[in-house]
Structure 1
Amino acid sequence: MQSIDLKIKNSKGIELASKLELPEENATTTYAIFAHCFTCSKNLNAVVNIAKALNAMGVAVLRFDFTGLGQSKGEFSETDFSSNVQDLIDVAEYLSKEYKAPKLMIGHSLGGAAAIYAGKQITSIEAIATIGAPSAPHHVQHLFKHSIDEIKEKGKALVELGGRPFTISKQFIDDISSTDMEQIMATLRKPILITHSPQDTTVEIKNAAEIYGFAHHSKSFISLDGADHLLTKNKYSLYVGRMIAQWVSIYIE
């Protein structure tokens, strides 16, 4: 695997820390973009493993940190779901200009929802894969439900997520509340693969059923039986990478 560190400027001029991972031996014909989970980063073990598995099957993967997260510049408190979608669009534009237009969009958790929204708008994207994605972006509110009143009253609040402090703004709450996954899926005409664990306690399996129900064919579902939300066991993340590569092969050369 050949790994290239990139600094990609988004439409606001903010540098997004990125890694483009290319298969070493095979000629790369397909480029994919990976959208990481809420408050995570491109270096989450599951993201790295999925990219590795896709690389082994000839798919190049660009993984990056959303604005204000990981090693990217900007303030997380000034971002929202829409800005995440725009980051994906900007990264796709960069790939198209500097390397090759991406054909596959992959997203984990809230990144999965963002992958659907962005994938619908990016012309070159021919297929979308989600991992533990919510059927409505506002689902993430349960992670900081005890601070919702403070956020609405003061405009923002400091909350602890995964043992780390994050400032959540009212703008973020308003933005995720205004999204409508069913409406987006009603006009999406791209193949979609939905992967989800029945044991996921962060984003329940019913979310996968709802996305599947909203989607038009071609649509596929893979159960990640026994996995947790973050795919902390390597066997699950490597499996997901291999399954995505196999699935997309019938839609993309």
Structure 2
Amino acid sequence: MPTELFTFPGHAGHALAARLDRPEGPHLATALLAHCFTCGKDIAAARRIAGRLAGMGIAVLRFDFTGLGHSGGEFENTSFTSNVDDLQAAAEALEGRGMAPDLLIGHSLGGAAVLKAATRLPRVKAVVTIGAPFDPGHVTHNFGDALERIDADGQAEVTLAGRAIKIGKGFVDDVRAETLGPAIAAMKKALLVLHAPRDSVVGIENATRIFLAAKHPKSFVTLDEADHLISRAEDVEYAAEVIAAWAGKYLDLRPPAPPIGAPEGITRVSEADPEGFRQDVQAGPFHHTVADEPTAYGGTNRGFTPYQFLAAGLGACTSMTIRMYARRKGWPLAHVSVDVTHDKVHAQDAGGSTSRIDHFLRRITLEGALDADQRARLMEIADKCPVHRTLEHGATVRTELVSASA
């Protein structure tokens, strides 16, 4: 996906580092993503969610809050209120580019911030929280004994996730005073609450309170075994899938007309795991799946292999073709299933030369009160499946280099 790096002024005028992930195809909507407390825009969860949404046609802006990551300013001088102000500044930066956000996504304290900011952004249609606290003051539980030093000295160093960071008294006082209930009730946006039941940092009861405070439409989806940072690849993938599917209900993601010569539109395959083989497969804004290789071949076994996709195309086309014919004839076909296996065999086994060729074995099961003639005719119809004909007759593949970078 194309990525643009730029800066914009935050709440206090400091330059905030931003990353705008754009769709490779048509731009259908825009999302603004707020990272978790003291994290950054480039954590794995943010990258994966942004990539999945970009594949759906949704541009995603993620940025580092003041004093974090590559952004300017000092974190100890920030507060929850300033985070909300930074979010508004990010939305204004997007609007200045003609890309006012339609969707807000917030992780942990970033989730609380998007709930607060949503009331200020009338063009936003939907909001997603991931492991968000209902009470922003909940974050101070992570400060331990440092709270007394913060109260006494105005700031103190706190170790969070193995990293030392300075927390100021203004931040503590601000989150302690913040109440999200009224803002959630007045939000008037569609809301999706994602939370893990075993989240040991922000308990699941926070999700319940957020959900109960919100007006409909609202949805609550559990992240099962995920941890607070959604550190496992499978949990991030699931969260991204849920957000992408849910957002489609509330954002106008109708694609433009397909290009000439491609009546079904473009199927886009993009790398999801540069260290392995996992691929995002996107067919328009509504259909997404994953391709991969088995673990024995260096993959993570998260999706179909390329040949399994090919076999699935043959099987699906066969089943559809048989159903269409039986329906037109009014025959009592109760159910059809097709098992397809792929192998490379010696051509001599198929009556040809000694070279190796691809061989697909297709086993068709026809259920229902069909007589012998009907079954025989349906088996003949199976060979008229368009994908079958393409595989048998062959096809040409023309390849063009779109762009290259050093």
Q: CA deviation at 1:148?
A: 1.0
User: Which residue is equivalent to 1:44?
Assistant: 43
Q: CA deviation at 1:12?
A: 2.3
Q: CA deviation at 1:56?
A: 1.4
User: Which residue is equivalent to 1:96?
Assistant: 95
User: Which residue is equivalent to 1:14?
Assistant: 14
Q: CA deviation at 1:97?
A: 0.9
User: Which residue is equivalent to 1:124?
Assistant: 123
Matched ranges for 1:77-88 at <5 A: 77-88=76-87
Distance in 1, Cα, partners of 2:123 & 2:52: 22
User: Is 1:148 paired with 2:153?
Assistant: no
Distance in 1, Cα, partners of 2:239 & 2:81: 26
Give the TM-score, by structure 1 length: 0.97
Q: Deviations over 1:171-221 (max 9, x none)?
A: 011100111111212212111000001111111111101111111111101
What code does the residue aligned with 1:205 have? I
Matched ranges for 1:201-220 at <5 A: 201-220=200-219
**Comparing both chains, which one has the higher relative contact order based on Cα–Cα distances under 8 Å and sequence gaps of 6 or more?**
1
Q: Deviations over 1:33-70 (max 9, x none)?
A: 00000000001011101111111111110010000000
Distance in 1, Cα, partners of 2:98 & 2:14: 20
Distance in 2, Cα, partners of 1:124 & 1:69: 27
Aligned pair count? 252
- Please tell me the root mean square deviation across aligned C-alpha atoms, in Å: 0.9
Distance in 2, Cα, partners of 1:232 & 1:116: 23
Higher deviation after alignment, 125-134 or 230-239: 230-239
Q: Is the CA contact (8 Å cut-off) linking 2:198 and 2:225 kept in structure 1?
A: yes
Distance in 1, Cα, partners of 2:23 & 2:186: 34
Q: Deviations over 1:57-111 (max 9, x none)?
A: 1111001000000010110011010010000000100100113111100000000
Matched ranges for 1:70-81 at <5 A: 70-81=69-80
Q: Is the CA contact (8 Å cut-off) linking 2:11 and 2:82 kept in structure 1?
A: no
Q: Percent identity?
A: 43
Q: Deviations over 1:132-165 (max 9, x none)?
A: 0001100001100211111111111111111111
User: Which residue is equivalent to 1:182?
Assistant: 181
Q: Which runs of 5+ in 1 are unaligned?
A: none
Secondary structure of the residue aligned to 2:6 is strand
User: Is 1:169 paired with 2:168?
Assistant: yes
Q: CA deviation at 1:252?
A: 1.1
What code does the residue aligned with 2:180 have? M
Distance in 1, Cα, partners of 2:202 & 2:4: 32
User: Which residue is equivalent to 1:226?
Assistant: 225
Higher deviation after alignment, 9-18 or 211-220: 9-18
Q: Is the CA contact (8 Å cut-off) linking 1:57 and 1:242 kept in structure 2?
A: no
Q: CA deviation at 1:114?
A: 0.2
Give the TM-score, by structure 2 length: 0.61
Matched ranges for 1:231-242 at <5 A: 231-242=230-241
Distance in 2, Cα, partners of 1:188 & 1:11: 22
Quick check: which has more Rg, 1 or 2?
Answer: 2
Distance in 2, Cα, partners of 1:247 & 1:122: 20
Q: Deviations over 1:6-38 (max 9, x none)?
A: 11112422111110001102x112100000000
Q: CA deviation at 1:238?
A: 2.0
Secondary structure of the residue aligned to 2:31 is strand
Q: Is the CA contact (8 Å cut-off) linking 1:128 and 1:191 kept in structure 2?
A: yes
Q: Is the CA contact (8 Å cut-off) linking 2:109 and 2:136 kept in structure 1?
A: yes
User: Which residue is equivalent to 1:199?
Assistant: 198
Distance in 2, Cα, partners of 1:171 & 1:13: 18
User: Which residue is equivalent to 1:24?
Assistant: 24
User: Which residue is equivalent to 1:4?
Assistant: 4
Distance in 2, Cα, partners of 1:63 & 1:236: 20
Q: CA deviation at 1:244?
A: 1.0
